[in-house]
Amino acid sequence: MIETTGSTMLGTAPAPAPAPAPRAPVKPDAQGFWKGTGRRKTAVARVRLKPGSGEIKIIIDRKHTKKVDEYFSEVRDRTDVMSPLKVTGTVGKMDVVARLNGGGYMGQAQAMRLGIARALKDYDPALEQALRDNGFLTRDPREVERKKYGQAGARKRFQLSKR
């Protein structure tokens, strides 16, 4: 016989937690853009996107922009930038404008990937699960370890001299 204490019975599984309610879509800014910020190592990407012809531009300075194919010479970096759009099926449907600072090309590409994914999530909350399943909404927390005093680098030591 199972003993009961209070209103719950021992030996039964707890009820499953209810699914979270879908988020309401975020409104675009005055120019019709959804914004997302991505970071990786020391690179920062400020990304804006809106429905359009599928053009992806990177702002170099106030007057000059480059297309993704011109800016990123490595195929790996270009595929990183395009991957959130491919997963959500929005390739050729969204105009993307990004401003990149700091880091190297690989870090900038991964920061841009995170920024695009965050902006897509705000544009359509239904896309969030596909982006999360592919790991595009998770920021990579790894950073460069600092150099310590009395050492040649972050972990490297100076050579020991016996005499």
Q: Is residue 6 part of a domain?
A: no
Is residue 140 within 8 A of residue 40, CB to CB? The reply is yes
Q: Is residue 149 part of a domain?
A: no
| Assessment of whether the complete model's pTM goes beyond 0.75 | yes
Q: Is residue 150 part of a domain?
A: no
Q: Is residue 110 part of a domain?
A: yes
C-alpha dihedral (5, 8, 9, 10), degrees to nearest 10? -80
How many folded domains does the chain comprise?
Answer: 1
Residue 21 confidence (pLDDT): 63
Looking at every residue in the chain, the average pLDDT score rounds to: 90
Q: Is residue 151 part of a domain?
A: no
Q: Is residue 38 part of a domain?
A: yes
Q: Is residue 19 part of a domain?
A: no
Residue 44 confidence (pLDDT): 97
**How confident is the model over 17-48, as pLDDT tens digits?**
665 666 777 889 899 999 999 999 999 999 99
Residue 3 confidence (pLDDT): 57
Could you give the count of Cα atoms lying within 13 Å of 117 in the half-sphere of its Cβ? 26
Helix (H, G, I), strand (E, B) or coil at 68: helix
- Domain of 74 in residue numbering reads as 26-128
Is 57 exposed, middle or buried (CB count within 10 Å of its CB: 0-12, 13-18, 19+)?
middle
**How confident is the model over 46-85, as pLDDT tens digits?**
999 999 999 999 999 999 999 999 999 999 999 999 999 9
Q: Is residue 157 part of a domain?
A: no
Q: What is the CATH number of the domain that holds 38?
A: 3.30.230.10
